[in-house]
Amino acid sequence: MPIIAPSILAADFANLQADVTMLNDSAADWIHVDVMDGVFVPNISFGLPVIKAIKKHAQKPLDVHLMIVQPERYLQAFKEAGADILTVHLEASTHLHRTIQEIKALGMQAGVAINPHTAISLLKDIVADIDLICLMSVNPGFGGQKFIENTFAKTSELASLLKVTNSKAKIEIDGGVNQANAPKLIAAGADVLVAGNFVFTAPKPKEVIQQLKSLA
């Protein structure tokens, strides 16, 4: 069964506690938390104090996706805010290997995200060291965008790379995930599905989460 990680970016920011409580009571496995700095991506979301507030109520691991430049400057701060899994972008960290080691030394699981234009082959020398690879299936920065179809091929390519390198890293798909593309993603090798708008714009979000969870 896939790991389902609803993205809090699509929640009601004026009533985050209610949405976190809903996720606690749902079949969701993780809570996906999107941090945007307005530099790496053309949008600003929220930062450390908001994550601390979410952590107070969350009963599920926080899967924090940093869409920020020089993420290495803030690893300890995100740990203290409550991140369980910390994902940085390959395109944003010059010394990615060191960044990964530091995330793990802080006691978090380490993830690497790649943009839609970034080749899977660039992950070859890092897959053995990481717990999660986040394949962006939209250009990061906004929720509610259209899924990029090339992600199916990239997921298969990554699954093969993990097999030959004997990596246990999980494959996470982030952006535009819905009930139509999820089965094909799981078939291609996806382990974790992030879903923002598909979950939070539904009249009954918990049912949508349960449906995603029951796929495959």
Contacts to ligand DX5 by CB under 6 A: 7, 9-10, 32, 34, 65, 138, 140-145, 174-177, 194-198
**Which is nearer to ligand DX5, 145 or 156 (by Cβ)?**
145
**Which is nearer to ligand DX5, 131 or 174 (by Cβ)?**
174
Q: How many other C-beta atoms are found inside a 10 Å radius of the C-beta of residue 183?
A: 14
CA distance 129 to 167: 8
- Scored b (16 or more CB within 10 A) or e, 126-160 reads bbeebbbbbbbbbebbbbeeebbeebbebbbbbee
* Among 27-35, 36-44, 89-97, 207-215, the segment contacting Zn ion (CB under 5 A): 27-35
End-to-end distance of the chain based on CA atoms, in angstroms?
7
CA distance 137 to 204: 24
The yes-or-no answer on residue 34 being catalytic is yes
Work out what residue 141 binds among Zn ion, ligand DX5, none; the CB cut-off runs from 5 to 8 Å by kind: ligand DX5
Work out what residue 123 binds among ligand DX5, Zn ion, none; the CB cut-off runs from 5 to 8 Å by kind: none
Who's near 204: CB < 8 A, 6+ residues apart? none
Shortest separation between residue 166's beta carbon and Zn ion, angstroms: 27
34, 37, 63, 131: the catalytic one is: 34
Shortest separation between residue 196's beta carbon and ligand DX5, angstroms: 3
Residue 192, φ and ψ in degrees, nearest 5? -130, 130
CA distance 124 to 121: 5
Shortest separation between residue 127's beta carbon and ligand DX5, angstroms: 21
**Which is nearer to Zn ion, 37 or 174 (by Cβ)?**
174
**Looking at beta carbons, which residue is closest to Zn ion?**
65
Shortest separation between residue 32's beta carbon and Zn ion, angstroms: 6
**For residues 117, 120, 125 and 127, what is the CA-based torsion angle, rounded to 10 degrees?**
110
Q: Is the dihedral of CA 182, 141, 25, 79 positive or negative?
A: positive
* Among 29-37, 78-86, 144-152, 177-185, the segment contacting Zn ion (CB under 5 A): 29-37
Shortest separation between residue 194's beta carbon and ligand DX5, angstroms: 5
19, 84, 174, 191: the catalytic one is: 174
Active site residues: 34, 174
Residues that bind Zn ion (CB under 5 A): 34, 65, 174
